[in-house]
Amino acid sequence: MKAVSKEAYAKINLYLKVANKRSDGYHNIASIMQQIDLSDTVTVSVSKGDGSIDITCTDPEVPCDGTNIAARCARAFLGRLGKNDVSVRIGIFKRIPVSGGLAGGSSDGAAVLSALNEITGNPFAENDLKAIGAGIGADIPFCLTGGTCECYGIGDSISEINTYAVPSYSVLLVSPGGSVPTPDAYRMIDEYILTRPKYEGTIPDILDDIYDGKIPCRYLQNDFENVILPTRPDIAGLKRELLDTGAAAAMMSGSGPTLFGIFRRHGDAAAASEKLKEKGIRSWVCKPVLKF
């Protein structure tokens, strides 16, 4: 039996605008996604077998059946490879909050694709893996790329942002608990799109700041805040609390409910985390994952 373990990193959206709803039901977005070092550990093993896929997870909220994104990625990989005489076992040690807007499930799926590719002798190039993953989850191509990226389309059109000028900063994740069902979030976004000024699908000043080596605080945007925060005062209140603890900027990631604060110094992020934990608020001190 061959086994490979991969770290599956969470992401935050430093910028997220929804451009429009497509005819296929998906949405075109413009986003800057940033990988952070909070990760699940995904262990994949392959043995002779009947094509079965067995999955276990340390978090009871995660379904351990064929609906799990990691299991679906394994099934798609084997189908593309044309292998039906092996069985796959997937173990997920979960650290990323479930349904938190952090791409935890997509990252696990990306880790499975990467691990299976390694185990089977790297039959697929990275772009092939991205194509397999894109059919399962829009964030999977980014999770396979990692680092800091501009993302367009449904999230599958990706350009890496590689600049040595990026300064050091820390990210404090906080969770209000619960979840925001993605279909509900996009239903509200569809109504919001109809009433706002037309969006041309570009990413303006925040990208200039990143290339200029500035901490990305001034131009954080997330369309989902416009529709989620009015319905979730607990999330709105937690965002204010993050700012009160010293964050230079704070925003919801993805469709939420997890929020993140950007801190210029790691010690300040750690101190804020302790204050929030005293109030029973879950938090994680993280660093951006850079690829250079």
Domain count, the chain: 2
DSSP code, position 172: E
Tell me whether residue 268 is in a domain.
Answer: yes
What pLDDT, on a 0 to 100 scale, did the predictor assign at position 268? 96
This prediction has a pTM of 0.92
Which are the catalytic amino acids?
A: 11, 139
Same domain, 187 and 147: no
State the pLDDT at residue 165. Answer: 61
Residue 135 sits in the same domain as residue 195: no
Rounded-to-integer distance, Cα 175 and Cα 173, Å? 7
With a cut of 70, list the residues of the chain below it in pLDDT. Answer: 1, 163-167, 292
Whether 199 maps to a domain, the answer reads yes
Name the H helices within the chain: 69-81, 104-119, 126-134, 140-145, 182-195, 205-211, 223-228, 233-244, 266-278
Among 131, 160, 189, the domain-final residue is 160
Same domain? For 196 and 266 the reply is yes
pLDDT at residue 166, as a whole number: 63
Predicted pLDDT of residue 164:
62
DSSP letters for 27-45: EEEEEEEEEEEEEEEEEEE
> Quick one: 39 and 122 in the same domain?
yes
Structural tokens at position 60:
């009871």
The residue from 108, 140, 160 where one domain ends is 160
CATH number at 61 reads 3.30.230.10
At 90 the pLDDT is 98
Domain boundary pick from 160, 195, 214: 160
The CATH number assigned to the domain holding 251 equals 3.30.70.890
Cis peptide leading into 183, omega within 30 of 0? no
Query: Same structural domain for residues 153 and 55?
Result: yes
User: Which structural domain, as residue segments, surrounds residue 65?
Assistant: 2-160
Residues 247, 141 share a domain: no
Q: How many CB atoms lie within 10 A of CB 233?
A: 10
In this predicted structure, what is the pLDDT of residue 106? Answer: 96
Write out pLDDT tens, residues 106-126: 999 999 999 999 999 999 999
